[in-house]
Amino acid sequence: MKRRLALKQLTAVSLLAMSGWMPQVHAAGDTIKVGILHSLSGTMAISETSLKDVALMAIEEINANGGVLGKKLEPVVVDPASNWPLFAEKSRQLLSQDKVAVVFGCWTSVSRKSVLPVFKELNGLLFYPVQYEGEELEKNVFYTGAAPNQQAIPAVEYLMSEDGGGAKRFVLLGTDYVYPRTTNKILRAFLHSKGVKDSDIDEVYTPFGHSDYQTIVANIKKFATGGKTAVVSTINGDSNVPFYKELGNAGLKATDVPVVAFSVGEEELRGVDTKPLVGHLAAWNYFESIKNPVNQDFIKKWKAYAQAKNLPNANTVVTNDPMEATYIGIHMWKQAVEQAKSTEVDKVIASMGGQKFDAPDGYTIEMDKTNHHLHKPVYIGEIRADGQFNVVWKSKGPIRAQPWSPYIPGNESKQGL
């Protein structure tokens, strides 16, 4: 009995030791710690792992060029394991234990939402690299992915245009979580403004990891008999493969019913047999197939890095939009720090606005002065047989983000912080 409880105390103490009660020895001072908070296991690992790698690459690159403020960057990688509470715990650890100057991470909206309170409480700095639903603006977060008006709305406009096939009816198909819900809400409002009736909009949601799309594809076919139809897919990463396979085999070709996806990029297409998908579309702010020196350099660096670190399937690695966004984020942060001559969060935030960076997407893009989002160009690409995208439309230039979509009532007032 006694020993049993003695053991209990012992565990309690050793636990504290583990969880960093004991004063930890940090090689602080000569390096700047940078947190990387991406799931390396669990369901989200599929998408997030490559972001971790690209972040490490960027850090290596920066260090090779003399680091920041004469100090080397020291990446601190943790695995929140696709578990949202763990995201919160890990961010707290990064900020309060490892004392990182900045955190690059998160993919899903829920992971971002679960870490937000921590970042606010401890006044940390988060760079969020994924396109999302908007409707959020936090002092402690910089959003280097697209807001809905930088991705969804142009895509739908294109579908309605003559080149896009002049779609009259729309199937808004998504996984049932906040990003699709909000995006579709915005799109519906937008379509209304374009005179599309509700009877011509079909909103369908599937659970996470849904893998049987027979019925849904059949319904799309049925719906398409009512007139020229296009599908706007906000299906979450994993479910895309079964969906596209079903689509291809059911003989729904892009020439009949084009599908434009917001969560399908080069990385996702690695996992699909793309031949039946030729002609389906995706809207992003960056495609690997964009031709410009910066991008070629970016791709070259990435492939070289993959080889050097011999990542799995190193010879087939691709770049995609969130990876580019991560890359931009890290470099912009570096610039901001150098301008602020300090890694202090408030100073860095202050000097982030207006930062410019020659991005692989072919433009010198700018961090908005007020709303913590990037001005980004929009590209629409058709899937090619080789898993790359063939750009069929691009915006005139970078577009300013509207985190508060004008299509959602009550947002008119909200601008900037």
Q: Using CB under 8 A, pick the residue from 64, 65, 70, 85 that binds another protein.
A: 85
What is the 8-class DSSP label of residue 372? S
Q: Are 297 and 331 in contact (CB under 8 A)?
A: no
Nearest to 109 by CA among 125, 137, 128, 81: 128
Task: Please tell me the distance from the alpha carbon of residue 355 to that of residue 338, in angstroms, as a whole number.
Answer: 11
Give, as ranges, the residues between 252 and 271 that touch another protein (CB under 8 A): 253-255, 258, 267-268, 270-271
Of positions 164, 360, 362, 398, contacts another protein by CB under 8 A: 164
Complex with another protein: residue 281 or 365, whichever CB lies closer = 281
Interface segment toward another protein; rule CB under 8 A; list 199-207, 297-305, 324-332, 364-372: 199-207
Nearest-angstrom CA–CA distance, 285 and 283? 7
Choice from 12, 25, 27, 64 touching another protein (CB under 8 A)? 12
Are 191 and 198 spatial neighbours (Cβ–Cβ below 8 Å)? no
* Binding status of residue 71 toward another protein by CB under 8 A: no
DSSP-assigned letters across all residues of 25-45: ----SSEEEEEEE--SSSTTH
Q: Beta strand 201-206 with 169-175: parallel, antiparallel or unpaired? A: parallel
| Using rule CB under 8 A, residue 195 touches another protein | no
Pick the binder of another protein from 71, 139, 178, 303 (CB under 8 A): 178
Q: What are phi and psi of 98, to 5 degrees?
A: -80, -15
Taking the C-alpha atoms of residue 52 and residue 67, their distance in angstroms, rounded to an integer, is 19
In the region spanning residues 334 to 373, those forming contacts with another protein, defined by CB under 8 A, are none
Q: Which of 105, 148, 248, 360 binds another protein (CB under 8 A)?
A: 248
In the range 274-293, which residues lie near another protein by CB under 8 A?
275-279
For residues 299 and 392, which CB has a smaller minimum distance to another protein in the complex?
392
**Shortest distance, position 117 Cβ to another protein, whole Å:** 5
Residues 110-139 that bind another protein (CB under 8 A): 110, 113-114, 116-118, 120-121, 135-136
Give the C-alpha separation, 303 to 296, whole Å: 11
Strand partners of residue 71: 68
Q: Determine which residue in the list 214, 307, 364, 415 makes contact with another protein, applying CB under 8 A.
A: 214
Q: Which is nearer to another protein, 81 or 331 (CB)?
A: 81
162 binds another protein, rule: CB under 8 A: yes
Q: How many CB atoms lie within 10 A of CB 308?
A: 11
Residues 19-58, one symbol each (x = binds another protein by CB under 8 A, - = not), give xxx-x----------------xxxx-xxxxxx--------
Check residue 416 for interaction with another protein (CB under 8 A).
no
Region 291-320 residues binding another protein, contact defined as CB under 8 A? 311-313
Beta pairing, strands 281-284 & 379-383: antiparallel
Strands 281-284 and 229-234: unpaired
Q: For residues 184 and 190, give the distance between their C-alpha atoms in angstroms, rounded to a whole number.
A: 9
